[in-house]
Amino acid sequence: MNEVIETLRWRETANGAVLEMIDQTRLPAVFEYVSYDSAQGVAHGIRSMVVRGAPAIGVAAGYGIALEALRLCKQADNQFDQLLEIGFTQLEESRPTAVNLFWALNRMRACWVQHQSLEKNQLALALTNEARFIHEEDINVNHAIGTNGAILLSDGARVLTHCNAGALATAGHGTALGVIRSAVAAGKKISVIADETRPFLQGARLTAWEMVQENIPITLITDNMAGHLMSQGEIDAVIVGTDRVAANGDVANKIGTYMVAVLAHRHGIPFYVACPLSTIDISVKRGEHIPIEERPAHEVTGYRDYQWAAQGVKVRNPSFDITPAELVTALITEKRVIHAPNELTIKELFM
Ligand code: MRU
């Protein structure tokens, strides 16, 4: 499928392969790709949020391993296994909450084990193919989520979203924004209300940019305006993405999602979570066990070079929160929609 926004692209040149990623720290002011040729480089790109969003992080990590294997072949290093293992560790340590990172690395490891007896350059080729497969699969999954979720939105719906679960957060199409794109493609008139999403501003910078690119009507609000709009009857549905869903249906997503879910419940507005199966972590029983990333204080005290908070002030910056399953109207997966998700219905998804 040809995607309008290519968040990540694999390039093979005379000098070797590189992974190019749109630099999401600079959007929307600057649109540019940055290139990576090692696991360490990709891990840095993930940590510094050049690439972000759970599925996109997973795809990037897969390519990070492929790049590392190709690089180690060229060096003809006899410590291939040991150095590739370091590449895995660097990527695993890049960000803790989105389970797609670990899901993709597990797939790359399984591929490594399966092809361990091959020549190193053949193994590197197998790892590259696996990374490409993860990439393509993510696009297909998002289109399936879009088709399954579009049915839930009525013609004319005004849909609130939080953070960015769009093409930029995935290999293409998006999960939450994928549902909106698919509903629009099916001929529905949908308008989007985007929370700006403090402190990293994924809503204002990325969701708004994506929707403007495709002429999908969008209105930007600050995070503290959502309750007011709901109380005025200006929001018909909420759709968000997720970084990890626990076995009981609790949802980890961008900080502020819980607040939106509570408000939606108060106002009787459906709260949907677009969720690839790769984002469900059945090894974690409940949301409280999901690791929540704490990011640097400077993201809260200012933006880029400007600091507005008092020098020396104490800061908290948890990057994600947990929305209990009871507040989730439905999980929209590539397989099917699960209304009022719970341990049993989630387990059945994997049967
Ligand atoms: O810190 P980020 O920008 O990586 O957080 C992203 C989110 O919280 C998204 O909603 C989530 O990853 C789903 S993306 C399809």
Domains recognised in the chain with CATH numbers: 8-142 (1.20.120.420), 148-349 (3.40.50.10470)
Q: What mean pLDDT comes out for the span 247-268?
A: 98
Residue 105: predicted pLDDT: 98
Please tell me if the CB atom of residue 55 comes closer than 6 angstroms to any atom of ligand 1: yes
Task: Count other C-beta atoms under 10 Å from residue 212's C-beta.
Answer: 12
In this model, does residue 83 exceed pLDDT 90?
yes
Residue 302: predicted pLDDT: 96
Residue 74: predicted pLDDT: 80
Q: How confident is the model at residue 15 (pLDDT cuts 50, 70, 90)?
A: confident
> Which tens digits make up the pLDDT trace of 155-179?
999 999 999 999 999 999 999 999 9
What percent of the chain lies above the pLDDT cut of 70? 99
* Cβ-based burial of 273 (10 A; exposed 0-12, middle 13-18, buried ≥19): buried
What CA dihedral angle connects 32, 34, 35 and 36, to 10 degrees? -150
Residue 304: predicted pLDDT: 86
Residue 76: predicted pLDDT: 62
What is the phi/psi pair of residue 118, to 5°?
Answer: -75, 165
Nearest CA to ligand 1 atom 5: 53
Please tell me if the CB atom of residue 247 comes closer than 6 angstroms to any atom of ligand 1: no
* Cβ-based burial of 228 (10 A; exposed 0-12, middle 13-18, buried ≥19): exposed
Residue 77: predicted pLDDT: 61
Please tell me if the CB atom of residue 179 comes closer than 6 angstroms to any atom of ligand 1: no
Mutating to test ligand 1, I would choose from 50, 145, 163 the residue with most ligand atoms within 8 A of its C-beta, which is 163
Q: From residue 126, how far is each of 13, 89, 114, 153, 306 by CA, in Å?
A: 18, 20, 10, 41, 46
> Which tens digits make up the pLDDT trace of 33-54?
999 999 999 999 999 999 999 9
Residue 62: predicted pLDDT: 98
> Which tens digits make up the pLDDT trace of 310-322?
999 999 999 999 9
Selected catalytic residue, list 138, 195, 236, 243: 243
* 243 catalytic per annotation: yes
In this model, does residue 21 exceed pLDDT 80?
yes
Report how far residue 168's alpha carbon sits from residue 177's, in angstroms, rounded to the nearest whole number. Answer: 10
> Which tens digits make up the pLDDT trace of 92-120?
999 999 999 999 999 999 999 999 999 99
Give the pTM: 0.97
Residue 14: predicted pLDDT: 87
Please tell me if the CB atom of residue 161 comes closer than 6 angstroms to any atom of ligand 1: no
Distance 122 CA to ligand 1 centre (A): 34
| Long-range contacts from 45-52, C-beta under 8 angstroms, 24+ separation | 45/21, 46/91, 46/94, 46/95, 46/101, 47/94, 47/95, 49/24, 49/25, 49/200, 50/21, 50/23, 50/24, 50/25, 51/7, 51/8, 51/21, 51/22, 51/24, 52/24, 52/164, 52/168, 52/169, 52/202
Instruction: Give the chain's mean pLDDT.
Output: 97
In this model, does residue 2 exceed pLDDT 90?
no
Q: What mean pLDDT comes out for the span 200-221?
A: 98
Distance 214 CA to ligand 1 centre (A): 21
Report how far residue 198's alpha carbon sits from residue 88's, in angstroms, rounded to the nearest whole number. Answer: 31
Residue 1: predicted pLDDT: 58
Please tell me if the CB atom of residue 330 comes closer than 6 angstroms to any atom of ligand 1: no
Distance 9 CA to ligand 1 centre (A): 19
